Amino acid sequence: MRTLTGITPSGTLHIGNYFGAMRPAIDAQTRGDCFYFIADYHSMTTVTDPVERRKNTLGIALDWLACGLDPKTSVFWRQSDVPEVCELMWMLGTLTPMGLMERAHSYKDKTAKGISPNFGLFAYPVLMAADILLYDTHRVPVGRDQKQHVEMTRDMAIKFNEAYGETLVVPESEIRDEVAVIPGLDGQKMSKSYGNTIEIFGDEKALRKKIMGIMMDSRTPAEPKPDADQNLAIQLLKFFATPEVVLDYENRLRAGGLGYGDLKKALFEHYWNYFAVARARRAELAANLDHVEAVLRDGAQRARAVAEQVISRARKASGLR
Ligand code: ADP
Ligand code: TRP
């Protein structure tokens, strides 16, 4: 059973990404055969600055390795190091009805938000299908927003197999519904598009300021707060502290006497300590970029060994040389 997922290098990762996507992916390594890649071709639909792309790609590589992605167990590579994916994209595109593409939500959502669309943005589900099908993937863990793309991938694999004979593995999505939606600094879903994020890694002072800036109501510290479990800082604290510690803060809020400032200070300390080991590892990796580059190249080689077999099967089946 092969698990594969891609991470678009489009910005700095936040704790919503960590608990929603990275943690489950890192835990899945114990099941073996995990393929994780940095989707730098995908970033081209929205980022057109090469310096920014390089910086984001390296940043994401450091983040994942620091957080526990083990490049010995998992295959970890940069999408563009295996350009065969573009060839498979072409093959799949020629079998994909326009109607299927026009129904893709992500394209409709993005154009509705005023992003001026390019062909790449429209074609992106076909590249994503090629990402998945090029590696004989069985399982694709994604957030709910990506479910339709995996459905489209299945359609494309089935169409290919109907046209050219059994060639591609038809994958299943694994939707992470059980993962809570991590709230942002304003209580909405944490997302880089809402500007309400707490980054996994970053400047201590700036992050402290962000957390201390969480808006609370105007009740005085002495006032009892029977709704303590609804408090945003308490909800966030649950990700970083033991249930006993959370309960203790909750009880102190409920009883009255604990100020919001002290609560937010505690939240910051727990958050900061939670990532202490990963932060140290990230600094080590950042001081040894040759090693990181070597990890990605080795990953690309291992990914390519699989990709070459699949692309050669697809070429043969479809009557190319
Ligand atoms: P963003 O909303 O910041 O742009 P992405 O859409 O790039 O984040 O999400 C990357 C991954 O992180 C997805 O798998 C998504 O489900 C997960 N994720 C993002 N935000 C959250 C959140 N607030 N809670 C849980 N998971 C999240
Ligand atoms: N489109 C995904 C996202 O925006 C990233 C991605 C690219 C991906 N290719 C993939 C995810 C293949 C899973 C499988 O989050």
What's the pTM value of the predicted model, to 2 decimals? Answer: 0.93
- Cβ–Cβ < 8 Å for 107, 152: no
Q: φ, ψ for residue 38 (rounded to 5)?
A: -95, 115
Closest residue CA from atom 4 of ligand 2:
8
Catalytic residue among 147, 189, 210, 265: 189
Closest residue CA from atom 1 of ligand 1:
191
Is any ligand 1 atom within 6 A of the Cβ of residue 189? yes
Residue listed under structure tokens 């093959």 = 91
- Name the closest ligand to CA 45: 2
d(CA 143, CA 123): 20
CATH topology of domain 202-274: Tyrosyl-Transfer RNA Synthetase (1.10.240)
pLDDT of residue 178: 64
Q: Is 209 among the residues known to form the active site?
A: no
> Which residue ranges make up each domain of the chain?
2-182+289-318, 202-274
pLDDT of residue 273: 98
Output the CA torsion 309→170→16→27 (10° steps): -70
Atom index in ligand 1 nearest the CA of residue 20 equals 26
Q: Which overall architecture, per CATH, does domain 2-182+289-318 show?
A: 3-Layer(aba) Sandwich (3.40)
Catalytic residue among 108, 113, 147, 192: 192
Q: Is 110 among the residues known to form the active site?
A: yes
Q: Is 205 among the residues known to form the active site?
A: no
Residue listed under structure tokens 């350009």 = 83
Per-residue pLDDT of the chain (321 residues; tens, 9 = 90+): 999 999 999 788 999 999 988 998 999 999 889 999 999 999 998 899 999 999 999 999 999 999 999 999 999 999 999 999 999 999 999 999 999 999 999 888 888 988 888 999 999 999 999 999 999 999 998 888 889 999 999 999 999 999 999 999 999 998 876 677 899 999 999 998 889 999 999 999 999 999 999 999 999 999 999 999 999 999 999 999 999 999 999 999 999 999 999 999 999 999 999 999 999 999 999 999 999 999 999 999 999 999 999 999 999 999 998
d(CA 191, CA 143): 13
Closest residue CA from atom 19 of ligand 1:
17
pLDDT of residue 12: 87
